[in-house]
Amino acid sequence: MIRLASIVFYRLIARNLPCTFWPGGGLFSFLRKLCLIGAGCKIGSSCEIEPKIEIGFSPDLVVGDRCQINENCYLRSALIGNDVMIAPGVVLLDRQHHFSSIDIPMAMQGASERKRVVIGDDVWIGQNSIVMPGVRIGSGAIIGAGSVVTKDVPNWAVVGGCPASVIRFRK
């Protein structure tokens, strides 16, 4: 019952409260964090949770300490490390539609099993990036804005593009 109440309160009220930079913004972020915890997510300490984050009704979300998740993100099934910055509009997908048969409409072919996205520590994911299901992003990596990440990213890599590829390494 607490889980359902938390999801309803989050979707109707908490997710629409102002950003953390508004007066009282820390309280708004705290309320969003409480609702997400009540919904079954695990959220670390000192995290900033901005408005309009879509988590779905059965989230499998674990967020480390000192993370910042900006507005308009779509996160359902992800394991996020410590000190991660997620820019506005980021999408972490956990499943995709089947499309192998041309005799059946794609909408009727069902979806794959959920595959959790795993993000290491000290990662920065740029605005409007998309991370496909089951992808692992290594510690210290930077994902350029607007990237589509279709395969695992090594530690300390800077990636960008569609599909994302390694541009250089930070070390």
CB 149 within 8 A of CB 131: yes
In a domain, 38, yes or no: no
Least confident of 21-25, 47-51, 135-139, 157-161: 21-25
In a domain, 79, yes or no: yes
In a domain, 15, yes or no: no
The answer, yes or no, to whether residue 58 has pLDDT greater than 80, is no
Residue 163: cis peptide before it, omega within 30 degrees of 0? yes
Total domain count, the chain: 1
Mean pLDDT of 94-105: 90
The answer, yes or no, to whether residue 29 has pLDDT greater than 90, is yes
* Mean model confidence pLDDT for the chain: 93
Print the domain residue range for 151: 44-169
pLDDT of residue 150: 97
The answer, yes or no, to whether residue 3 has pLDDT greater than 90, is no
- Which of 121, 163, 157 has the alpha carbon at shortest distance from 142? 157
Reduced to 3 DSSP states, what percent helix, strand and coil does the chain have, rounded to the nearest 5? 20, 30, 55
The CATH number linked to 111 is 2.160.10.10
Cβ neighbours of residue 104 under 8 Å, at least 6 residues apart? Answer: none
Catalytic residue positions, numbered: 97
In a domain, 21, yes or no: no
Question: Which pTM value belongs to this model?
Answer: 0.91
